[in-house]
Structure 1
Amino acid sequence: MSLQDQASSAGGILTIDLDAIKANYHQLNDRLRDGCTLGAVVKADAYGLGMARVAPALWSAGCKTFFVALMHEGLALRALLPDAQIQVFNGTDAESAPAMAAAGLIPVLNHPGQIEAWHMEATRLGKSLPAIIHVDTGMTRLGLDGQEIKALVEAGKHRDGLNIGTIMSHLACADDADHAMNAHQLENFKTTLKIMAPLGDLGASLANSSAIFLGDQYHFDLTRPGSALYGITPHGLKDGTPPNPMAQVITLQGKILQIRGIDTPSSVGYGATHQAEKGQKIAIVGVGYADGYLRSLSNSATAILGGIRVPVVGRVSMDLITLDVTNVPDQVARPGALVDLIGPDHSVDTLAREAGTIGYEILTALGPRFHQNYLETA
Structure 2
Amino acid sequence: MADNETGGVFLDGGHFYRDTWAEIDLGSIKENITSFKKHLPAETGIMAIVKANGYGHGAFQTAQAALEAGAQELGVATLDEAIALRRQGIEAPILIMNRIRPEYANLAAKLGLAVTVFHKEWLAEAAAEIEEGLTLSLHVKTDTGMGRVGTKSKGETAELIKEAGKDGCFKVTGLFTHFATADELDSSLFKQQLAVFKELVQELKQLEICPPVIHCGNSAASLMAPEELFNVARIGISMYGLTPSNELLPVLPFQLKEAFSLYTRLIHVKKINRGDTVSYGATYQAEEEEWIGTLPIGYADGWMRRFSPGAEAIINGRKVPIVGRICMDQCMVRLPHEMEVGTLVTLVGQQDDEKISIDDLAKLAGTINYEIPCLISSRVPRTFKENGRILENMNVILNF
**TM-score between both structures, scaled by the size of structure 2:** 0.85
Indicate the SS of the match to 2:146. coil
Distance (whole Å) between structure 1 residues aligned to residue 74 and residue 14 of structure 2: 32
Alignment match, 1:144: 151
1:281-300 aligned within 5 A: 281-300=291-310
Change (3 A) 1:165 1:14: same
How far has the Cα of 1:159 moved from its partner?
A: 4.8
1:178, distance to aligned residue in structure 2 (A): 2.8
Match of 1:237 among 246, 251, 258: 246
Distance in 1 (alpha carbons) for counterparts of 2:228 and 2:282: 51
Kindly provide the CA deviation profile for residues 220-268 of structure 1, in whole angstroms up to 9, marking residues without a partner as x.
111111111112113x135974478211212111211122322221222
Whether 1:354 and 2:364 are equivalent positions in the alignment is yes
Q: What's the secondary structure of 1:375's corresponding residue?
A: strand
Q: CA offset at residue 310 of structure 1? A: 1.7
In the TM superposition, residue 216 of structure 1 has moved relative to its aligned partner by 2.1
Name whichever of 365-374 and 281-290 sits farther off: 365-374
Distance 1:55 1:13 in 2: 20
Contact kept in structure 2, 1:32 and 1:219, CA below 8 Å: no
Q: 2:26 matched to 1:21?
A: no
Q: Which amino acid aligns with 1:51?
A: A
Q: CA, structure 1 residues 308+225, in 2 after alignment: closer, same or farther (shift >3 Å)?
A: same
Determine if contact 2:97/2:116 at 8 Å carries over to the other structure: yes
Q: CA deviation at 1:6?
A: 8.6
Compute the TM-score of the two structures, normalised by the length of structure 1: 0.90
Give the aligned partner of residue 223 of structure 1: 233
Q: Which residue of 2 aligns with 1:338?
A: 344
Amino acid paired to 1:231:
G
Structure 2 residue 53 is matched with structure 1 residue 71: no
- Aligned residue in 1 for 2:271: 261
Residue of structure 1 equivalent to 2:287:
277
Whole-Å Cα distance in 2 between the matches of residues 325 and 211 of structure 1?
44
Question: Within the alignment, does 1:172 sit opposite 2:156 as a pair?
Answer: no
CA-to-partner distance for each residue in 1:252-301, whole Å, 9 max, x for gaps?
11211122322221222112222221123222111101111111212121
**Which of 325, 346, 349 lines up with 1:315 in the alignment?**
325
2:47 to 31, 34, 39: 39
Change over 3 Å in CA distance of 1:264–1:296 after alignment to 2:
same
Residue in 2 aligned with 1:367?
377
Cα gap change, 1:174 to 1:14, in 2 (>3 Å): same
Q: Mind listing any 5+ residue stretches in structure 1 that lack a counterpart?
A: none
Q: Is the 8 A contact 1:300 1:355 kept in 2?
A: no
Change (3 A) 1:42 1:239: closer
In 1, Cα distance between the equivalents of 2:198 and 2:248? Answer: 31
2:217 aligns with 207
Aligned to 2:394: none
Is the CA contact 2:51–2:75 (under 8 Å) kept in the aligned structure 1? yes
- In the alignment, the residues of structure 2 paired with residue 228 and residue 78 of structure 1 have an alpha-carbon distance, to the nearest angstrom, of 24
Task: Output aligned runs, 1:107-146, within 5 Å.
Answer: 107-121=115-129, 124-126=131-133, 128-146=135-153
Point out the more displaced range, 210-219 or 285-294: 210-219
Indicate conservation of the 8 Å contact 2:178/2:216, yes or no: yes
2:395 paired residue number: none
Secondary structure of 1:206 counterpart: strand
CA shift for structure 1 position 163: 1.8
The count of residues paired between Structure 1 and Structure 2 equals 371
The 3-state SS of whatever aligns with 1:186 is helix
Task: Determine helix, strand or coil for the equivalent of 2:181.
Answer: coil
Question: Which AA in structure 1 matches 2:91?
Answer: D
Please give the secondary structure, in 2, of the residue aligned with 1:66.
Answer: strand
Structure 2 spans left out of the alignment, 5+ residues: 1-7, 392-400
Is the 2:164–2:172 Cα contact (8 Å) retained in structure 1?
no
The 1-side partners of 2:145 and 2:272 are apart by: 56
**For the residues of structure 2 that align with 1:151 and 1:250, how far apart are their CA atoms?**
44
Distance (Å, rounded) in 2 between the aligned partners of 1:219 and 1:168 = 10
Query: 2-side partners of 1:274 and 1:206: how far apart?
Result: 49
Alpha-carbon spacing, 1:371–1:202, altered in 2? closer, same or farther (3 Å) = closer
Partner in structure 2 of residue 3 of structure 1: 9
Computed over aligned residues only, the root mean square deviation of the Cα atoms, in angstroms, reads 2.5
